[in-house]
Amino acid sequence: MSNSEDFDAEINRDALAYHAGPVPGKISIQVTKPTDTQRDLALAYTPGVAEPVRRIVEDPGAAYRYTAKGNLVAVITDGTAVLGLGKTGALAGKPVMEGKAVLFKHFAGIDVFDIEVEAETPQEFVETVARIAPTFGGINLEDIAAPHCFEIEQALIERLDIPVFHDDQHGTAIIICAGLLNALEHQGKKLEEARIVVLGAGAAGIAAVRLLCAMGAHRNNILSIDRQGVIHTGRQGLNPYKWSVAADTDRRTLADAMEGADVFIGVSGPDLVTPQMLASMAERPVVFALSNPVPEIRPEVALQVRDDLIMATGRSDYPNQVNNVLGFPFIFRGALDVRACCINEEMQIAAVHALKELTHQPVPEQVLAAYGLDALESGPDYILPKPLDPRLREVVPPAVAAAAIRTGVARSDWPDHYPPMERFV
């Protein structure tokens, strides 16, 4: 066996042991109030529970004061696109949803119920989620295949008055944009002028194009590519989501698109970009090869072809990991803290800029120690914060919350434990 096969076998063995013991799974429910006396139990349940019920009948908003709703997120899947494994079914997606719960709790102190839904149609899924939504302060949709993920998210946003966020779309797009802004800055280029190639037209690819355009990228400078090649306005049979990223161009192949491009963003599959394609890009290119575990082009290959590029991957063993954990826990933290009714585009852009700016600040010693580094500063190998940086919780949630207040979607005041709001205006 090769070293990589030995490593994979070891990881698989250890992962099964990790998930199975000392108790099955990765999450549990913890009681937050005393239950030591008869009176404690009388307050926790009958007769004491009746009074909070009456208060919530009078004012549904009181549920945020008397129940866990305000700090509880549902992580929900239908099992149609589970973590690179495809359509595994809802039940097989449960370990991933529990893993997401771990990240919410560890990084942002947010409680999670993971929910796996057997649904034959998007409409069935939407109806199920809408009916259980009163339980939660927010909904994180996860591992739902395109194009149904777009339809599902939009339907739920329209029906519910709590944040609904498909992390595979927006979470990925936010981290891509934050890293890309820094990379372009280091390369002496501007987003408004950059020619961008996006390989992969699923949830992440289409969301990335939309957010890039919202932040100033020119629509005519972006070429999106799926299995059939460049998505162009002359192609027949495009669904509405692919049509929204179609370009008026005579380029038809990935190789055509890559010629002269400033930026490559891959959210597709392994080894799809050849050295020749990389060589044809513009001077000082930015390459985000995010297919996991094998990138569209491997860094060791790319660096043999170009010594003027900045590169990011989805892997933790290379510099510049594009990792959604930099975003979703802290975005939801900010949204929940001001009881936002949604996570709108302005809140997403606020998260982008908070992440971008954090990399320009001096890195604390504890972060360097966590990663075994002597030094780390903004540059080609540091365009995104490290996931274990404690400052993420200090800067991203307030930025998101401030955007929610500024755009009128917040339903509570600026939290007392936040820094002064003026810092985020």
Q: For 140-183, what is each residue's pLDDT tens digit?
A: 999 999 999 999 999 999 999 999 999 999 999 999 999 999 99
Q: Is residue 272 part of a domain?
A: yes
Torsion angle of alpha carbons 402, 409, 173, 398, nearest 10°? 20
Q: What is the pLDDT of residues 386-404, one digit of tens each?
A: 999 999 999 999 999 999 9
Active-site pick, 64, 69, 94, 100: 100
Q: What is the CATH number of the domain that holds 224?
A: 3.40.50.720
pLDDT of residue 4: 59
Shared domain for 194 and 299, answered yes or no, is yes
Q: Is residue 354 part of a domain?
A: yes
Q: Is residue 370 part of a domain?
A: yes
Shared domain for 285 and 395, answered yes or no, is no
Q: What is the pLDDT of residues 73-125, one digit of tens each?
A: 999 999 999 987 889 999 999 999 999 999 999 999 999 999 999 999 999 99
313, 339, 370: which is the final residue of a domain? Answer: 313
Shared domain for 328 and 303, answered yes or no, is no
Judge whether 100 counts as a catalytic residue: yes
CA separation for the pair 75, 422 (Å, rounded): 33
Shared domain for 107 and 37, answered yes or no, is yes
Nearest to 410 by CA among 349, 337, 351: 337
313, 343, 361: which is the final residue of a domain? Answer: 313
Q: Is residue 332 part of a domain?
A: yes
Nearest to 179 by CA among 345, 378, 330: 378
262, 278, 313: which is the final residue of a domain? Answer: 313
Place of tokens 């800067």: 395
CA separation for the pair 320, 313 (Å, rounded): 7
pLDDT for 65 beyond 60: yes
Shared domain for 157 and 202, answered yes or no, is no
The answer to whether 268 touches 195, Cβ cutoff 8 Å, is no
* Residue 124 dihedral angles phi and psi, to the nearest 5°: -65, -40
pLDDT of residue 68: 97
Q: What is the CATH number of the domain that holds 84?
A: 3.40.50.10380
pLDDT of residue 2: 58
Shared domain for 328 and 273, answered yes or no, is no
Shared domain for 419 and 338, answered yes or no, is yes
Shared domain for 284 and 347, answered yes or no, is no
Q: Is residue 261 part of a domain?
A: yes
Shared domain for 234 and 137, answered yes or no, is no
Shared domain for 236 and 153, answered yes or no, is no
Q: Is residue 47 part of a domain?
A: yes
Q: Is residue 131 part of a domain?
A: yes
pLDDT for 425 beyond 80: no
pLDDT of residue 84: 79
SS3 of 344, please? coil
What tokens appear for 84 in the block? 């690179």
Q: Is residue 387 part of a domain?
A: yes
Q: SS3 string of 225-280?
A: EECCEECECCCCCCCHHHHCCCECCCCCCHHHHHCCCCEEEECCCCCCCCHHHHHC
Nearest to 166 by CA among 181, 192, 193, 147: 147
Q: What is the pLDDT of residues 310-335, one digit of tens each?
A: 999 999 989 999 999 999 999 999 99
* Residue 56 dihedral angles phi and psi, to the nearest 5°: -70, -35
The tally of domains found in the chain comes to 3
Shared domain for 246 and 379, answered yes or no, is no
Nearest to 288 by CA among 186, 169, 180: 180
pTM of the predicted structure, to 2 decimals: 0.95
pLDDT of residue 226: 96
Domain assignment of residue 153, given as a range: 19-162
Number of separate helices (H) and strands (E) present in the chain: 17, 10
Place of tokens 């944009």: 177
Categorize the per-residue pLDDT at 11 as very low, low, confident or very high, splitting at 50, 70 and 90: confident
- DSSP classification of residue 26: S
Judge whether 418 counts as a catalytic residue: no
As a whole-number percent, the residues of the chain with pLDDT over 70 amount to 99
Shared domain for 197 and 85, answered yes or no, is no
